A = this chain, B = another copy of it.
């Protein structure tokens, strides 16, 4: 775990107190408004200790929500390359993560987000600040269109996860990943950069 989320060793009780304060702060105020200073205060520790244990606000957030992967490490390789094939590369990278052991942690996270509003908020913050923000700032599209384009892509990817890994609808659940990249990649690409006639006013 420590390699993936950048956690460092430390007093387990102190770490847990920081994580509890972080979960509360991120769920209540959102990622951007929650400050490391306030989280440290709520946990009764010095802000420097939070930095020492977790490295950055991004990493603290990933640890607090038990994120199975760090999009900040995964996404650069997906976003580099032909901008017209980002959809394919996103679906391919996504399936590689969900088909790996991290996918089980992902299913657990989705289950929790679907049943508790508190985890749903953290998942929303995760999608917006850790995934969509990075993907969207890479796209050559009208900035006013980006939030809805990102939501549409997230709905497509979320539905793939829901039906393939959670509901396990066949034949989707046992279709080879590259077949799904070919089938779904262009759909994601259309949402991200393609013409969406009639969707945006003007």
Contacts and interface: CB of A to CB of B under 8 A. Distances in A.
A110 B111 CA distance: 10
A124 interface: yes
A103 to B, nearest CB: 15
A109 to B, nearest CB: 11
B148 A175 contact: yes
Nearest to A187: B187
A168 B124 contact: yes
Interface string A149-163: 001101111111111
B147 A171 contact: yes
A191 interface: yes
B114 A110 contact: yes
Given A163-B154, A199-B182, A172 B148 contact: yes
A139 interface: no
Interface string A76-119: 00000000000000000000000000000000001101110000
Given A148-B175, A172-B155, A120 B182 contact: no
Contacts of A168: 120, 124
Given A111-B115, A182-B198, A199-B179, A151 B170 contact: yes
A127 interface: yes
A147 B175 CA distance: 11
Contact of A169 (B127, B159, B183): B127
From A110, A167, A184, residue with most partner B Cβ within 10 Å: A167
Given A156-B156, A187-B187, 5 more contacts: A114-B115, A124-B170, A147-B171, A155-B172, A159-B159
Interface of A: 110-111, 113-115, 120, 123-124, 127-128, 147-148, 151-152, 154-164, 166-172, 175, 179, 182-184, 186-187, 190-191, 196-199
7 contacts: A114-B162, A124-B168, A127-B169, A148-B175, A148-B183, A155-B184, A158-B167
